[in-house]
C-alpha cells in the first residue's frame, strides 16, 4: 500500500502570474524549472500581457545526459496553451516547438511529464498581437462622420 501511495505523488510547479515584457504588439517571457525526484510533474505557468487577441509562438526543451553514473532527462507527456494542445517530442532532446497558437487575456501554459534524475528545461513564449495604427482610428472616425452625414440628409 505504501508503494501505491508513493506512485501518486508528484512534483508540480506553479509560480505566481508572470508579467510578460514588451508591448504594445510584441510580448516575450522566458520560463523553466528543474525536477529531481523521479516522479510525474505538472507545471502550470500563467502569463499576463496586454490581453489583446494575438498568436503565441515559442519552445521549451531539455537536453538529456545519458552519461553514467547518473543519467538525467525529462519525458514530456502533454503540453497546452489555454487548452490548445501543443506537439511534444522526446529523445536526446525533449520539448515542444509551436507557432500560431491563438491567445487572448491571461495565458496558461501547462506542461506534464516525468523526470529521470535531476533535469531542467527552459523555454520562451512570444505573443504577437495586432495593434491598430493611429491612421486606422482616423479612418474609422472619418467613416463614422460620413455615415452620420448621410443619415442626417435622409432625415431632412
Q: Is the pLDDT of residue 17 over 70?
A: yes
Q: Is the pLDDT of residue 6 over 50?
A: no
Sign (positive/negative) of CA torsion 30, 85, 11, 40? negative
Q: Which of 10-14, 38-42, 54-58 has the lowest mean pLDDT?
A: 10-14
Instruction: Provide the pLDDT for residue 121.
Output: 94
Check if the beta carbon of residue 98 is closer than 8 Å to that of residue 58: yes
Higher pLDDT, 136 or 13: 13
Domains annotated for the chain, with CATH where assigned, are 18-131 (2.60.120)
Instruction: Provide the pLDDT for residue 8.
Output: 47
The pLDDT tens digits of the residues spanning 80-115 come to 999 999 999 998 889 999 999 999 999 999 999 999
Whole-angstrom Cα distance, residue 18 to residue 148? 45
Q: How many CB atoms lie within 10 A of CB 59?
A: 16
Higher pLDDT, 141 or 115: 115
Q: What is the three-state SS of the chain?
A: CHHHHHHCCCCCECCCCEECEECCCEEEEEEEEEECCCCEEEEEEEEECCCCCEEEEEEEEEECECCCCCCEEEEEEEEEECCEECCCECCCEEEEEEEEEEECCCEEEEEEEEEECCEEEEEEEEEEECCCCHHHHHHHHHHHHHHHHHHHHHHC
Q: Is the pLDDT of residue 5 over 50?
A: no
Q: Is the pLDDT of residue 7 over 50?
A: no
Instruction: Provide the pLDDT for residue 16.
Output: 93
**The pTM is what?**
0.77
Q: Is the pLDDT of residue 55 over 90?
A: yes
Confidence of residue 4 (pLDDT cuts 50, 70, 90): very low
Amino acid at each position: 500500500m505504501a508503494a501505491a501511495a508513493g506512485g501518486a505523488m508528484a512534483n508540480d510547479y506553479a509560480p505566481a502570474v508572470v508579467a510578460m515584457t514588451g508591448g504594445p504588439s510584441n510580448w516575450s517571457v522566458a520560463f523553466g524549472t528543474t525536477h529531481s525526484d523521479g516522479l510525474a510533474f505538472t507545471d502550470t505557468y500563467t502569463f499576463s500581457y496586454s490581453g489583446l487577441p494575438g498568436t503565441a509562438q515559442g519552445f521549451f526543451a531539455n537536453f538529456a545526459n545519458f552519461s553514467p553514473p547518473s543519467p538525467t532527462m525529462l519525458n514530456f507527456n502533454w503540453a497546452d496553451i489555454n487548452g490548445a494542445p501543443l506537439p511534444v517530442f522526446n529523445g536526446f532532446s525533449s520539448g515542444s516547438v509551436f507557432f500560431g497558437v491563438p491567445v487572448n487575456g491571461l495565458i496558461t501554459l501547462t506542461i506534464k511529464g516525468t523526470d529521470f534524475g535531476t533535469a531542467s528545461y527552459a523555454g520562451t513564449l512570444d505573443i504577437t498581437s495586432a495593434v491598430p495604427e493611429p491612421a486606422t482610428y482616423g479612418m474609422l472616425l472619418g467613416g463614422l462622420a460620413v455615415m452620420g452625414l448621410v443619415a442626417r440628409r435622409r432625415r431632412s
